[in-house]
C-alpha cells in the first residue's frame, strides 16, 4: 500500500529513525518481534509475515511498538494501570512509576477512590487530608508538563473516582474551566446500585471506609454528571460492575481503573499491548460498483498472525518497572482490535448505524474473537499457557493469553493506515485534525477520494455518512454490538453529538449504554470545547465587566479598536475576518469576501456577531456554533483536492475569532495604550493616509466608511 502524505508527516515527526522509510520501519519492528522464536527458520518465517501485514497496512501494532522496537530500549506496550493506596508512600511511588511508564511512551490509568476525602483527619500526623483532587493536580503537572511520552507528546492519564466517594462533587467540578487537569481524562466509576437509585429517584450515600459522609439525591448527582458531559465532554462514565462481571481474569481481583482511552480495564500493574486490523483492507471485489464482499479468509489469516505478533511483543518487551513486568508475564494480556469499520460499511454499501451495520459488527467481531481464541489456545500448547491459569481458577480452555480483544480509538494509527478510526464513523468528509505538535492535518477519507476519482462526481451515495448523520442511539448500538460479540476488554467509543444536543439526550444515552452492557462511554458535544492547537492552553476569555448590561443594551464601542486581519480561502473566494478588541476584550468583528460569495450576507453576519459580542455573548459560544457549520460548496471543493481552508464561511468566521482570542492579552494591552482617538483623526482622514501603502501588495491605501482599504481589489487587505 502507498503511504499517504499525512502518514509520512506523522511518521517523520514521531516514528522514523534517522534516514528511515516505511519499509525499513516495518523491517526493524518485524525482526524485533520475530526474535521471540528460538529457531532461525521460525524467525525468518514470522519476520516476513509480520513485515508483510504492517507494510500492506492490513495490521498495525500500537504506537510504542512502532516507535521503539528495534531502535531503543523503550517499551512496546501502550496501556497501564497503577495502584493508589491511601498513604504518602503509595501515592508518591505511583507518581514515580507513572513518570517511568510515560517516559517510555505508555499511558496510565489510576483510580483515586482509595484516597481519603478532603478535610478528613489523619491520625498518624494529626493533620488534615487534602483529598484526591490535590494529588491529581500534582500528577497532572509532573507527568504532563515535565515528562513527555516517549519524548514526543505530553502524558496521557485516566483519573477515575467512584460515584460513592465523598469528594465526587468536587471531582465533577474539576474541569469546568478548560485547561485544568489538561493531561487527564476524567471518568466517574458508576455502580449498578447508583444507576438503580437514579432510576428510582432515591437517595444515595457517599461513603469512605464504611463511614457515610453525606446522603444526597442520586438524581441530583446524576444531573451533575450529565451537566459536565454536556458542558465539555467530561466526565465520561465507566460501569464498574459491568466491567468486573465480564472480566476474564475476575478471580484475580476487582478492576478499579482503565487506561486513558477506556478500552483496557486492567488490574493494578497490568499492561496491555494493542494492535488493530484494518477492516477496510479485508474487502475483495469492486466495492464502488457494489460487487464487494468480506474476504473472510484474509481476515482469519491476519488475525492468526496478529495474535502471535502481539503475544511475542510481551516476550521481547522492555518493561519500565519490575511490578509491571511480573504482572504482564503472568497474565499475558493482548488487545487485538479493529480500525476502518466505517470504511468497511461504505465498501459494503451499508449505512453506518443501520441494522445491517449492527449485524456486520457482530459478525466481524465474533469471527475475530473466535480465531484469536483458537490461535491463543494453539500458542499455549506450543509455547506454554499464561501462568495465571495455573494460579487462579479461570476455567477452560487454557490459553496463552489472559485477554484477547479490545477496540482502541486508533487516532494516529488510522491516519497512517489511511482509514477510519477504531469503530467510529467518519468524522467528516473533509476536516482538519490537530495531530502533530503545532501542526494540523487536512483529512479527506480515502473512500471519498476513490469514489470521486472513479465516478467523476462529487455527489456521494446515501451510505456515505458522517458523525453528524448518525443518531446517539445508533452510536451506542454499534458499540454494544461489538462489546457483546467478541470483545473481552472494552470498546473505546466517543459519541460526537451535535452542538444543540440537550442534556436529557445525554442522560438517556448513558442509561442506554449501561442497559446494553457497554463498559463505558464518552459523549462530546461538538463545539462545546475549544480544542484547536492555538487555543488548548488558553483559559476562555472573561470580559472585564465594568457594569451589568440591561436586556437589549449594547456595550459602548470606543472610537479606536485594534486586532488582526485574517485571510482564509473558501470555495467561493477569499474570506477576511477582522476581530477587534478594546481594553476589555473582543468587541466587534468585521467580515468581507473577495472574489466570490455573497458580500451582503457576510457583512450582515459581521454586524450580527458584533452585536452579540457587544451584548455580552461569550466568544467561545460563538466559536463553537460557527465552527460546527459546514457548507456543500466547501465540502465538495475539499473532496476534489482544491485549496480550501475552511468548511464554510461561517466556520472561517469562528476560526478567525478563535485565532484572535489566542492573542487576546496582547491586543487588550495595545488597546489600553491607544490615546484619545480624536487626536488621530483629522476631518475623517488619518494623519499621513496619502502616503500609506498596503503591507501585503504595496498598492495605495484609501479610507472608506472608517476603514483603511487596499486599492487593489484582488488583494483585499483592510484595517478598521
Which backbone phi and psi does 128 adopt, to 5 degrees?
Answer: -120, 130
Q: CA 453: distance to chain centroid?
A: 30
SS3 content of the chain, % helix, strand, coil (to 5): 40, 20, 40
* Catalytic residue (choose from 263, 505, 541, 588): 263
d(CA 47, CA 276) in angstroms, rounded, equals 18
Phi and psi dihedrals of 331, rounded to 5? -95, -25
Name every residue whose Cβ is closer than 8 Å to that of residue 711 and which is 6 or more positions away in sequence: 694, 699, 700, 701, 702
Judge whether 357 and 351 are in contact, CB under 8 Å: yes
Q: What b/e string do you get for 138-177 counting C-beta neighbours within 10 Å, with b at 16 or more?
A: ebbebbbeebbbbeebebbbbbbbbbbbbbbebbbebbee
Distance CA 111, CA 265 (A): 11
Cα–Cα distance, 512 to 479 (Å, whole number)? 11
Q: Pick the catalytic residue from 26, 75, 79, 261.
A: 261
Closest CA to 711 of 703, 719, 701, 697: 701
DSSP reduced 3-state for 422: coil
Q: How far, in Å, CA of 474 to CA of 481, rounded?
A: 11
Could you write out the DSSP letters of every residue in 361-378?
Answer: HHHHHHHHHHHHHHHHHH
DSSP 104: T
Element (H, E) at 174: none
CA 174 to chain centre: 19
- The answer to whether 174 and 165 are in contact (CB under 8 A) is no
Calpha distance 148→102 (Å, rounded): 7
Three-state DSSP class for 568?
Answer: strand
Please say whether the dihedral angle defined by the alpha carbons of residues 407, 411, 415 and 416, taken in this order, is positive or negative: negative
Q: Does the annotation count 261 as an active-site position?
A: yes
Three-state DSSP class for residue 276: strand
Positive or negative, the Cα torsion across 525, 530, 536, 540?
Answer: negative
Query: Which entry of 6, 246, 259, 373 is annotated as an active-site residue?
Result: 259
Determine the Cα–Cα distance for residues 214 and 231; give it in Å rounded to an integer: 26
Residue 458, beta-bridge partner list: none
β-pairing verdict for 681-682 and 586-594: unpaired
Here the cell at position 79 is: 496501556
Residues identified as active-site: 259, 261, 263
Amino acid at each position: 500500500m502507498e503511504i499517504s502524505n499525512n502518514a509520512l508527516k506523522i511518521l517523520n515527526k514521531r516514528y522514523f529513525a534517522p534516514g528511515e522509510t516505511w519499509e525499513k520501519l516495518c523491517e526493524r519492528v518485524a525482526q524485533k518481534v520475530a526474535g521471540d522464536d528460538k529457531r532461525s527458520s521460525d524467525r525468518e518465517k514470522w519476520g516476513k509475515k509480520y513485515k508483510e501485514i504492517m507494510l500492506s497496512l492490513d495490521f498495525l501494532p500500537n504506537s510504542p511498538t512502532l516507535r521503539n522496537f528495534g531502535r531503543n530500549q523503550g517499551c512496546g506496550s501502550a496501556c497501564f494501570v497503577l495502584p493508589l493506596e491511601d498513604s504518602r508512600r503509595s501515592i508518591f511511588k505511583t507518581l514515580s512509576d507513572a513518570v517511568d511508564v510515560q517516559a517510555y511512551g505508555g499511558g496510565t490509568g489510576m483510580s483515586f477512590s482509595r484516597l481519603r476525602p478532603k478535610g478528613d483527619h489523619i491520625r498518624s500526623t494529626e493533620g488534615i487530608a487534602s483529598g484526591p483532587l490535590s494529588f491529581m493536580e500534582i500528577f497532572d503537572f509532573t507527568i504532563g508538563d515535565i515528562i513527555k511520552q516517549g519524548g514526543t507528546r505530553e502524558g496521557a492519564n485516566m483519573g477515575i473516582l467512584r460515584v460513592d466517594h465523598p469528594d465526587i462533587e468536587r471531582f465533577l467540578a474539576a474541569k469546568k474551566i478548560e485547561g485544568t487537569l489538561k493531561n487527564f481524562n476524567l471518568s466517574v466509576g458508576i455502580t449498578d446500585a447508583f444507576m438503580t437509585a437514579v432510576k428510582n429517584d432515591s437517595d444515595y450515600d457517599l461513603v469512605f471506609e464504611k463511614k457515610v459522609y453525606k446522603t444526597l439525591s442520586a438524581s441530583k448527582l446524576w444531573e451533575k454528571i450529565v451537566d459536565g458531559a454536556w458542558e465539555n465532554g467530561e466526565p465520561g462514565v465507566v460501569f464498574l460492575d459491568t466491567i468486573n462481571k465480564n472480566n476474564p481474569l475476575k478471580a484475580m481481583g476487582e478492576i478499579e481503573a482503565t487506561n486513558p482511552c477506556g478500552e483496557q480495564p486492567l488490574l493494578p500493574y497490568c499492561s496491555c499491548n494493542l494492535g488493530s486490523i484494518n477492516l477496510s483492507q479485508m474487502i475483495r471485489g469492486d466495492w464502488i460498483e457494489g460487487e464487494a464482499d468480506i474476504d473472510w479468509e484474509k481476515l482469519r489469516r491476519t488475525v492468526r498472525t496478529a495474535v502471535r505478533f502481539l503475544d511475542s511483543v510481551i516476550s521481547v518487551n522492555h518493561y519500565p518497572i519490575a511490578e509491571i513486568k511480573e504482572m504482564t508475564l503472568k497474565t499475558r494480556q493482548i488487545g487485538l482490535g479493529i480500525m476502518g469499520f466505517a470504511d468497511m460499511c461504505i465498501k459494503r454499501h451499508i449505512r453506518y448505524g443501520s441494522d445491517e451495520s449492527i449485524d456486520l459488527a457482530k459478525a466481524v467481531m465474533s469471527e475475530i474473537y473466535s480465531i484469536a481464541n483458537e490461535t491463543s489456545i494453539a500458542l499455549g500448547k506450543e509455547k506454554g499457557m499464561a501462568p495465571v491459569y495455573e494460579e487462579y481458577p479461570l476455567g477452560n480452555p487454557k490459553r496463552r493469553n489472559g485477554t484477547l480483544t479490545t477496540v482502541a480509538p486508533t487516532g494516529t494509527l488510522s491516519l497512517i493506515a489511511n482509514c477510519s478510526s477504531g469503530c467510529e464513523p467518519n468524522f467528516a468528509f473533509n476536516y482538519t485534525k490537530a495531530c502533530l505538535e503545532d501542526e494540523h492535518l487536512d483529512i479527506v477519507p480515502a473512500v471519498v477520494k476513490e469514489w470521486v476519482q472513479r465516478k467523476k462526481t462529487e455527489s456521494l451515495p446515501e451510505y456515505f455518512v458522517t458523525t453528524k448523520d448518525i443518531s446517539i442511539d445508533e452510536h451506542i448500538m454499534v458499540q454494544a454490538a461489538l462489546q457483546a460479540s467478541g470483545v473481552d476488554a472494552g470498546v473505546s467509543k466517543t459519541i460526537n453529538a451535535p452542538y444543540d444536543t440537550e442534556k436529557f439526550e445525554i442522560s438517556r444515552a448513558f442509561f442506554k449504554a449501561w442497559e446494553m452492557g457497554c463498559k463505558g462511554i464518552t459523549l462530546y458535544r461538538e463545539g462545546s470545547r475549544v480544542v484547536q492547537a492555538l487555543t488548548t492552553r488558553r483559559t476562555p476569555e472573561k470580559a472585564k465587566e465594568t457594569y451589568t448590561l440591561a436586556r437589549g443594551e449594547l456595550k459602548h464601542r470606543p472610537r479606536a479598536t485594534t486586532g488582526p486581519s485574517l485571510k482564509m480561502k473558501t470555495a467561493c473566494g477569499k474570506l477576511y475576518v477582522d476581530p477587534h478588541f478594546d481594553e476589555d476584550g473582543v468587541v466587534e468583528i468585521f467580515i468581507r469576501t473577495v472574489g466570490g460569495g455573497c458580500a451582503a450576507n457576510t457583512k450582515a453576519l459581521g454586524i450580527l456577531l458584533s452585536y452579540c459580542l457587544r451584548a455580552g455573548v461569550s466568544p467561545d459560544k460563538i466559536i463553537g456554533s460557527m465552527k460546527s457549520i459546514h457548507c456543500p460548496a466547501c465540502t465538495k471543493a475539499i473532496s476534489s483536492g482544491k485549496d480550501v481552508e475552511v468548511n464554510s464561511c461561517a466556520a472561517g468566521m469562528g476560526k478567525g475569532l478563535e485565532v484572535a482570542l489566542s492573542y487576546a492579552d496582547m491586543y487588550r494591552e495595545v488597546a489600553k495604550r491607544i490615546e484619545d482617538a480624536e487626536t488621530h483623526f483629522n476631518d475623517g482622514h488619518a494623519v499621513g493616509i496619502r502616503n500609506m501603502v498596503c503591507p501585503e501588495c504595496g498598492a495605495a491605501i484609501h479610507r472608506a466608511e472608517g476603514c483603511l482599504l487596499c486599492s487593489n481589489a484582488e488583494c483585499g487587505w483592510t484595517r478598521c
